Amino acid sequence: MSQWRAWRRSRPFWGGLFMVLAGLELFALPLSGVLVHGAIKLVIYIGIGGVFGALIGALLVVAGLGIWFNAMHKTFYSIAGVVLGLASFPASNLGGLFIGMLLAIGGGAIAFAWTPVEPAPAPQGEAALS
Amino acid sequence: MSVGKSSNSARGKVNWRRFAIVAVPAVVVAGTLVGLTAEGALASSISVSGQEFIITATQLKGTGFAQFGGALPNSKGGQTPVIVSSIKDATMSSLCQSVTVLGMTVHLTAGGSGSPVSASNLVVDASDQTASSAVFDNLSIGQDAGTLGGPAGSFGEAASQVTINNLVQHTWYTTAGTFTLPNLSLGFGGSC
């Protein structure tokens, strides 16, 4: 349990989590019919709107996981998450009816703002900024 | 994964000034996007499937209308019969759409006060559809659905123009290439 807490505290956990949730929501809205029913025919129906929703959702999930497992590059992933969240508004169901867009912007900003507290890994902190 | 790294014990916390550096411009851009959409200047792409939602409009006018019966697979492994309507260009007055996402009901209204919503390449799969009146121009009833993009050999109908008043639809699947949504407003709770 304490290991889990240490893991969580050693990276921008909540920012990454919000981005993953945003991605899943954007992904689910156009495609849940396809995933639940296994209806491949629906994909052809859904067209470019659904494809954008799936693409932006998948990229947000990847960026969120990147923040957890590759926290070194969190600046890149967090900015990508914010931009993807903004892009989802015109491209995918008004940003998953606002929910996904707000989660992505909030998560990305929190991940960007996360900074290591201890003075020891100072060179690491500098690397993360660059 | 990287748990065993030197950063194992490195704690961190959120620096709220850094948070604002990203969050404030992002919210400004998001607000601009919402504003442009609400003015009808920015089109958005809508595509929802898998859950039932309700669409109502006081009036729908469209050109290039086609309708035929179809079926969507449902979660019980069977088929739900649906009415597939496709409209090439449609305008809708006082559009209201409500959908339940993650246990929350979201309702979206647009196109009130004289500036209607317009949609292109609209396809709706409805399980239930009612209207107070409907006018079709150049209606051909009994056209093979295969010629309209549906299953060949089944019943279909097509019209060059259509006007439907007080439309209420329960739909399972909606998509449109572009939607312009003037006077957009979004609320939680309460369906149309």
How confident is the model over B162-189, as pLDDT tens digits? 999 999 988 877 877 788 888 888 888 7
**Global pTM value:** 0.74
CB < 8 Å to B182, chain A = none
- In chain A, the residue whose alpha carbon lies closest to the alpha carbon of B38 is A94
Q: Number of CB pairs < 8 Å for A and B?
A: 186
The closest alpha carbon to A100, from A89, A90, A109, A91, belongs to A89
CB < 8 Å to A92, chain B = 45, 47
Whether residue A121 is predicted with pLDDT greater than 70 in this model: the reply is no
Of the segments B51-55, B81-85, B157-161, which one has the largest average pLDDT value? Answer: B157-161
Residue A65 has a pLDDT of 95
Of the segments A90-94, B29-33, B148-152, which one has the largest average pLDDT value? Answer: B29-33
Sequence-separated (6 or more) residues with CB below 8 Å from residue A11? A67, A68, A71, A74, A114, B7, B12
Q: Running DSSP on this structure, what letter comes out for residue A10?
A: T
Residue B28 has a pLDDT of 94
Secondary structure E strands in A41-125: 114-116
Whether residue A80 is predicted with pLDDT greater than 90 in this model: the reply is yes
Condensed to tens digits (0 to 9), the pLDDT of residues A3-48 reads: 888 888 888 999 999 999 999 988 887 776 655 555 444 444 555 5
Residue A130 has a pLDDT of 44
Residue B52 has a pLDDT of 74
> How many Å lie between the alpha carbon of B106 and the closest alpha carbon of chain A?
8
* CA quadruple A24, A25, A27, A33: dihedral sign: positive
Residue A46 has a pLDDT of 55
Residue B173 has a pLDDT of 78
Residue B162 has a pLDDT of 93
> How many Å lie between the alpha carbon of B50 and the closest alpha carbon of chain A?
3
Q: Between A61 and B126, whose confidence is greater?
A: A61
Which pLDDT band holds residue B1 (cuts at 50, 70, 90)? very low
Residue A35 has a pLDDT of 58
Condensed to tens digits (0 to 9), the pLDDT of residues A44-76 reads: 455 555 677 788 999 999 999 999 998 888 899
Whether residue B150 is predicted with pLDDT greater than 70 in this model: the reply is yes
State how far the Cα of A55 lies from the Cα of B156, in Å rounded to an integer: 34
What residues of chain B, 151 to 170, have a C-beta less than 8 Å from chain A? Answer: none
Length of chain B: 192
Within an 8 Å CB–CB cutoff, is residue B76 touching chain A?
no
